[in-house]
Amino acid sequence: MMETLFDRMMRHLMRKGTLFITYPEGNTRQYGDGTGAPVRVTIHDRATVRALAMNPELGLGESYMNGSFTIEDDDLYGLLTMAITNIASGHETRWQKGLNHTRNALRWLAQKNPAGRARENVAHHYDLSGQLYDLFLDTDKQYSCAYFARPDMTLDEAQTAKKRHIANKLLIEPGMRVLDIGCGWGGMGLTLARDYGAKVVGVTLSEEQHKIANARARAEGLEDRCEFRLMDYRDVDETFDRIVSVGMFEHVGVPHYREYFRQVREKLSEDGVALIHTIGRTCPPGHTNPWITKYIFPGGYCPSMSEAVQAIEKEDLYTCDIEVWRLHYAETLRHWHDRFMANRDRVAALYDERFCRMWRFYLVACELTFRLNDQCVFQFQLAPKQENVPLTRDYLYGDDVSPAKTTPARHAAE
């Protein structure tokens, strides 16, 4: 019964490519139009067939993690490329569409993110061993989209370019007070203090990130310019010249969007500028993949532009600039995946094989969603007054701000 249901679902969904599935009883069926390199998978028990039929978005990731669903030559890229391409073509079954409608209807409840729950959600992902992130991130521990100004950039070069681009958008000057909402391991804040002369307050809910960020500030002798606090951004009570938030808005939750931008407005001086960098979706509002919610980012959600802008415009902020980065995150994730796989044995020693399969599924699925489906990155440049930002983008790309000619404010003052 369940195998028949799953077979019908697969025939409806898989219109492109060539997929062979071997079922627990040993029979093999072919799906797709016969084009492209074939992908061969084996389902090892009936419980997995049921899980895939009833909730394919959750079941696929869980089955791969648990080893009850295996791919010949571990061709995860091939399988997920085929799956995402067909899903993006809109061939979901009525059952899947109904399930997605239900998730969309319940997303406000799922994304309710008061301070206590926000702290738990952050700990789930960001309080993993710091050694794990050292194995696949760049040397500055930037866990967000890099900016590939040139296609031949290394990951470290692209992450440096990202920070420079953001700093230019913030129009940083020496002595400015900057609030970094969701400061991570401190890389952005330390860059703004060290290279641009800013005085930075960074906030995070991750104990691991808080500890490492402060240790880095002490090691670089930047304690007088960088203060990293273990606290919710909603509890900050000072006013700042600049506000930056990179990769944190995805954790805010739709019910809190207006609250978030109200906090940005209240904490920003009248002459201030804010830069909000977030993963977004190019499609209408939706829901987070249930596997990602359960195993990777509980409470996380990537907004459509309409959702974010609707909240911004109600909080007395000018949207001075919106920039859309398309394939930059796909390239970033490919670098992370390759580094992760090069250190897979060390990750397994920290955790186990199941964790390695989970993390690889996460990295590959996210890369291909950026590359083949509906995800991108938005950068919102905001200000209380439209005169706070130049009228053109020349200040971002002129020779005076090119990587070779930029003089860090700290050195300029010396």
Tell me the three-class secondary structure of 97-117, residue by residue.
HHHHHHHHHHHHHHCCCCHHH
CB neighbour class for 347 (10 Å; exposed up to 12, middle 13-18, buried from 19): buried
Q: What percent of the chain has pLDDT over 70?
A: 87
Q: Report pLDDT digits (tens) over 320-358.
A: 999 999 999 999 999 999 999 999 999 999 999 999 999
Predicted local confidence at residue 287, as pLDDT = 87
DSSP state, residue 86: H
Flag whether pLDDT at 281 surpasses 70.
yes
Predicted local confidence at residue 408, as pLDDT = 38
Cα(166)–Cα(153) distance, integer angstroms: 18
Predicted local confidence at residue 103, as pLDDT = 65
Can you tell me the mean pLDDT for 14-38?
A: 96
- Residue type at position 109: L
Of the candidates 160, 172, 122, which has an alpha carbon nearest to the alpha carbon of residue 298?
Answer: 122
Flag whether pLDDT at 112 surpasses 80.
no
Tell me the pLDDT band of 127, cut-offs 50, 70 and 90.
low
Residue with tokens 């980065």: 325
Among 4-18, 136-150, 332-346, 397-411, whose mean pLDDT is lowest? 397-411
Flag whether pLDDT at 136 surpasses 70.
yes
Predicted local confidence at residue 400, as pLDDT = 42
Predicted local confidence at residue 99, as pLDDT = 64
Can you tell me the mean pLDDT for 173-180?
A: 97
Predicted local confidence at residue 413, as pLDDT = 36
Residue 151, φ and ψ in degrees, nearest 5: -65, -20
- Residue type at position 42: T
- Residue 295 in tokens: 């195993």
Q: Report pLDDT digits (tens) over 222-240.
A: 999 999 999 999 999 999 9
Flag whether pLDDT at 81 surpasses 60.
yes
Q: State the virtual CA torsion across 43, 104, 354, 185 in degrees, nearest 10.
A: 160
Catalytic (active site) residue 226? no
Predicted local confidence at residue 407, as pLDDT = 37
Query: Phi-psi region for residue 199, left (φ > 0), alpha (ψ -120 to 50) or beta?
Result: beta
Provide the 3-class DSSP secondary structure of residue 162: helix
Predicted local confidence at residue 130, as pLDDT = 78
Cα(330)–Cα(369) distance, integer angstroms: 8
Flag whether pLDDT at 116 surpasses 90.
no
- Residue 66 in tokens: 């648990």
Higher pLDDT: 175 or 92? It is 175
Can you tell me the mean pLDDT for 310-324?
A: 95
Tell me the pLDDT band of 101, cut-offs 50, 70 and 90.
low
Tell me the pLDDT band of 298, cut-offs 50, 70 and 90.
confident
CB neighbour class for 310 (10 Å; exposed up to 12, middle 13-18, buried from 19): middle
Provide the 3-class DSSP secondary structure of residue 39: strand
Sign of CA dihedral 248, 117, 257, 273: negative
- Residue 258 in tokens: 């207006």
Q: What percent of the chain has pLDDT over 90?
A: 81
Flag whether pLDDT at 409 surpasses 80.
no
**CA angle (162 as vertex; 248, 150 as ends), nearest 5:** 140
The mean of the pLDDT values for the chain is 90
- Among the options 302, 320, 356, 366, which is catalytic? 366
Flag whether pLDDT at 123 surpasses 70.
no
Can you tell me the mean pLDDT for 134-154?
A: 96
The H-or-E segment that residue 338 falls in is: helix 328-342
Cα(414)–Cα(406) distance, integer angstroms: 15
How many residues make up the chain in this entry?
Answer: 414
Cα(399)–Cα(364) distance, integer angstroms: 37
Q: What is the pTM of this model?
A: 0.90
